[in-house]
Amino acid sequence: MSAPAIRIKGLKKNFGASEIIRGVDLDIHRGERHAIIGPNGAGKSTLFHLISARLPVSSGTIELKGENVVGLKPFEINRRGLSRSFQITNIFHNLSVFENLRCAVLWSLGYRYSFWQRLAGLADARQRAEAVMEDIGLGKRRDTPAGILSYAEQRALEIGITIASGADVILLDEPTAGMSNTETEEAVALIRRVTEGKTLVMVEHDMGVVFGLADRISVLVYGQVIATDAPAAIRCNAAVQEAYLGTSLNHD
């Protein structure tokens, strides 16, 4: 087996005097579905921001498929096959659903900054965008501006944009936040379907989603990973129980 999808070593991040990520070491294997859980303020989203280069790293290394990506820009990391979604919906509001998805596939198909090719003539981009659109169940909303979609539809589109480029490492930040139960079920099915054969890392609060979907779970508390294991083992882990799960799980 080659290098892990993501390998994090001694990662630290501080904002001014306060340290949010306090030395994280984590390996994410290729092809696994990995969930990161932890109480509010543990630094889960910050960790994502560091991996995807939305925030600069204070110290430590992050390797993507064996290559150190610290210091690269977001688009450079994206081009190396890592794609992410956001906790707060982050789509192109004035573009239609189809255009949103087509924008997401252009780079990976090698069209780059082309201003000599017509979009309408790029059959592969169209087909891929349409395929993703069907996948996420927005086929009927093809020409609707993304800004006026319903919340659940926007979340689906968010996932669609994230996976459209065909990246093999996918980061999803709370994909089901704010959804009703039925919507959550649909979203889980969607995530399962579209990440088939890819590496998935997700931050999630809904324990049902986490334990239903993840192959392995890491628990992040106060900027440190206190445990990484299979779901069953995490349930029994004493440290996790103490720090976090004890209350939360019993309440569910």
With respect to other proteins, which residue has the nearer C-beta, 94 or 247?
A: 94
**Lateral strand order in the sheet of 224-229:** 82-84, 169-173, 199-203, 33-37, 216-221, 224-229
C-alpha–C-alpha distance, residues 160 and 221, integer Å: 30
CA gap 46, 14 in Å, rounded: 10
> Which member of 104, 129, 200, 240 binds other proteins (CB under 8 A)?
104
What minimum distance in Å lies between the beta carbon of 98 and other proteins?
Answer: 9
Site string for other proteins, 154-173 (x = CB under 8 A): -------x--xx--------
194 binds other proteins (CB under 8 A): no
**Of 92 and 211, which has the nearer Cβ to other proteins?**
92
In angstroms, rounded to a whole number, what is the distance separating the alpha carbons of residues 221 and 128? 39
Q: Which of 16, 18, 120, 252 contacts other proteins by CB under 8 A?
A: 120
How many other CB atoms sit within 10 Å of the CB of residue 175?
26
Total residues interacting with other proteins, rule: CB under 8 A: 41
Q: Which residues, numbered 31-90, are part of the site for other proteins (CB under 8 A)? A: 52, 54, 73-75, 78-79, 83-84, 90
- Strand intervals (E) in the chain: 6-15, 18-28, 33-37, 59-64, 67-68, 82-84, 169-173, 199-203, 216-221, 224-229
Q: Is 185 in the site for other proteins (CB under 8 A)?
A: no
Q: Which residues bind other proteins (CB under 8 A)?
A: 52, 54, 73-75, 78-79, 83-84, 90-95, 99, 102-104, 106-108, 111-123, 126, 144, 148, 161, 164-165
